[in-house]
A and B are shown apart, each in its own frame.
Chain A
Amino acid sequence: MKYFLTELREGLAISFRAIRANKMRSVLTTLGIVIGIVSVTLMATAIEGVNRAFDKSAAAFGTDVLYIQKFPWVSNEDWMVFRNRRNIELSYVDKIERRATLVDAVAPAVLTFRQINFGNNLMEGAVVTGTTYSYISAAGVTLVDGRFFTAEESNGARPVCVVGSSVVENLFPREDPIGKTLRVVGHPYTIIGVLEKQGGLFGTFTADSRVYVPIKSFLAVFGSRRDVTIQARVANIKWMEDAKIEIEGIMRQLRGLAPGQPNDFNINQQEILTETFGPISMTIAAIGLFITGLSLFVGGIGIMNIMFVSVTERTKEIGIRKAIGARRRTILLQFLTESAALCLIGGFLGLMIAFPLSKIIDEFLPTSMPFSVVFIAIGISLVVGVISGFLPAYRAARMDPVEALRYE
């Protein structure tokens, strides 16, 4: 073992001397590995970033919330099937609340996309949502300032609203929004609360752009023939499946469905999103990593090529070393060390380039470089180095010393 370490150290010393002696060549050779590592690392970083952003978005839906809606979130069937279903009615909310035993809060949500403004500040595409005071209990949102509606404000259709962080960023960049009155296509609503920023996948599915108003006001202003989503928070996450069945039963009653008739509504939950996204994400990740891995493969071939050249160039040296008593194993190790060293240097350089690049990309696409990627990149460099270097090193080890010494 001790001998192996000495051999390794000698091998490393020889490698660095050889690499330094041919600086230009070493740089060009390593370039392949550098580019390979940069692309693989950035790909892994982007994948990780998208996954994390997705998780944040999914979290916005709450793991213990059931969404009773006309449409399923994910389906293979024709959209028209769902389009033609009856709307979910606002009146169901009270009935579900009274009849369901496994849920502890039920709230409706109905939405529309409108322009809102405060003074000269405008925001397009705000998600104006009508709901009740129970919403704060029935959904996965947290207030960071102010409060949600009271029962009086909710039932009395008062012109109050609770807004998300994007609304604040757009309309109130320099002032406290609480107490100010914004306008939703002309209609005034006074802000009584601000929600915590959620972030999420490209700003979709988050509460950041929402303006929550009492549902009765919403229906009066924007029309009552609207499709309502009913959210129900399950009292204990362990009861999710049972709660789902219970609500299904209540809904079937409310909809007057006979036994044997299929549901004409859907009960959605966060799990559907994660279950669907998971395989998609993995497939994209696999394809992405495969493609970028190809560039690493090309880099490895470059290393192999140069190592063959290096071995041929040093034929005489190999002959001398063998004459002095180097065993085949020693020569093999010497050249393997050299190609591994080249690749490790490429790997480190690649990481040093990839890290700031990932920060830049972060501006456009959610990215985050997990620490594991660093170790994996180093590990891959090492493996590529050993594999690419093996054939040339083997050839060196098997050289006939007599012929090697004769080589000019």
Chain B
Amino acid sequence: MDNTTIHLEQITKVYDMGGAEEVHALRGVSLNIQKNEYVAIMGPSGSGKSTLMNIIGCLDTPSSGLYQFNGANVSDMNDNELAKIRNKEIGFVFQTFNLLARSDALHNVELPLIYAGFPSAERKRRAKQTLEHVQLGDRAHHKPNELSGGQRQRVAIARALVTDPSIILADEPTGNLDSKTGEEIMALFEDLHRQGNTIILVTHEADIAAHAHRVNRLRDGKIERDEEVTKRISYATA
């Protein structure tokens, strides 16, 4: 169990919609993800994949079940402890990028470091370094509206990477990009995986999921299938 980053056991999530209605978003999901895996969570709309992602990302807590992150029991944690995990161990990448529009790329990337309590000089150095890592070193002082969609997503990825997190959690990362830019981003994820990062990809598109090494298919709140990707899409990068 040493290398298990994510351990989910019979996770359920029930939403009370007021009155008699209850929505069972997750009906008992069990899942293990090891270090340096590249896993895709796939499913149609309404399958519960967003809910599962939010729980894995410590943005939401399960109604029942066990969630251990790097061995620690997340279900017991209070708001501050969850915030700390989100800050240091989880790197989010969103479909809509979710950058701060009024700040430049450098400031967006250093934000997690600010919340982690790093001093200013150290923050700027690491942020600059991470931007260079995603090939955006020369755009550090551009604001999001001065960047293309692909570049914005790179900034978001840099922000996700800057605290050296245990997992990178990407929710439809290419959903707002054209197919060519989308491929560039998926190539970047492949690089990151090869460099040792653990990547969890949430998507409803089969050809995006095919970039991962393992796919979990979600349907109606349960995992239907958990299998290795046979026909993987890969890139030969320098």
Contact = CB atoms under 8 A, between A and B. Distances in A.
Contacts of A17: 102-103
Contacts of A317: 100
Contact of A324 (B54, B86, B102, B120): B86
A21 B57 contact: no
Contact of A325 (B83, B94, B102, B103): B83
B119 to A, nearest CB: 8
A84 B115 CA distance: 84
Contacts of A316: 98
Contacts of B38: none
Contacts of B152: none
Of A17, A321, A325, most buried by chain B (CB within 10 Å of CB) is A325
Given A6-B117, A316-B98, A327 B80 contact: yes
B14 interface: no
A322 B117 contact: no
A26 interface: no
A103 B60 CA distance: 88
A330 interface: yes
A323 B102 contact: no
Interface in B110-137: 111-112, 114-117, 119-120
A157 interface: no
B87 interface: yes
A325 B59 contact: no
Contacts of A330: 115
Nearest to A401: B59
B56 to A, nearest CB: 12
A365 B94 CA distance: 65
A404 to B, nearest CB: 10
B59 A402 contact: yes
A289 interface: no
A319 B59 CA distance: 10
Contacts of B59: 322-323, 401-402, 405
B70 to A, nearest CB: 16
B189 interface: no
A328 interface: yes
B222 interface: no
A79 interface: no
Given A317-B100, A320-B98, A324-B111, A402 B54 contact: yes
A319 B84 CA distance: 15
Interface residues of B, number: 27
A310 to B, nearest CB: 13
Contacts of B100: 317, 320
B98 A325 contact: no
Nearest to A7: B114
Contacts of B116: 325
B115 to A, nearest CB: 4
Nearest to B55: A402
Contacts of A362: none
Contact of B83 (A3, A18, A322): A322
A326 B116 CA distance: 9
B183 to A, nearest CB: 26
A323 to B, nearest CB: 5
Nearest to B89: A325
Interface in A278-305: none
A6 B114 contact: yes
A17 B107 CA distance: 13
Nearest to B112: A324
Contacts of B111: 321, 324
A317 B83 CA distance: 16
B102 A326 contact: no
Contacts of B98: 316, 319-320, 323, 405
A328 B79 contact: yes
A326 B117 contact: no
Of A316, A317, A323, A402, most buried by chain B (CB within 10 Å of CB) is A323
Given A6-B117, A17-B102, A323 B57 contact: yes
Contacts of A327: 79-80, 83-84, 115
A10 interface: yes
B159 interface: yes
A326 B57 contact: no
Nearest to B116: A325
Contact of B87 (A18, A21, A325, A328): A325
A76 to B, nearest CB: 66
Given A3-B117, A320-B98, A321-B111, A326 B83 contact: yes
Interface of B: 54, 57, 59-60, 79-80, 83-84, 86-88, 92, 94, 98-100, 102-103, 111-112, 114-117, 119-120, 159
The 4 closest A-B CB pairs, nearest first, are A325-B87, A325-B115, A327-B83, A325-B86
15 contacts: A6-B114, A320-B98, A321-B115, A322-B83, A322-B86, A324-B112, A324-B115, A325-B84, A326-B83, A327-B83, A328-B83, A401-B59, A402-B54, A405-B59, A405-B98
Given A3-B117, A326-B115, A402-B54, 19 more contacts: A10-B114, A17-B103, A317-B100, A320-B98, A320-B100, A321-B111, A321-B115, A322-B59, A323-B57, A324-B92, A324-B111, A324-B159, A325-B83, A325-B112, A325-B116, A327-B83, A401-B59, A405-B59, A405-B94
Interface of A: 3, 6, 10, 17-18, 21, 316-317, 319-330, 401-402, 405
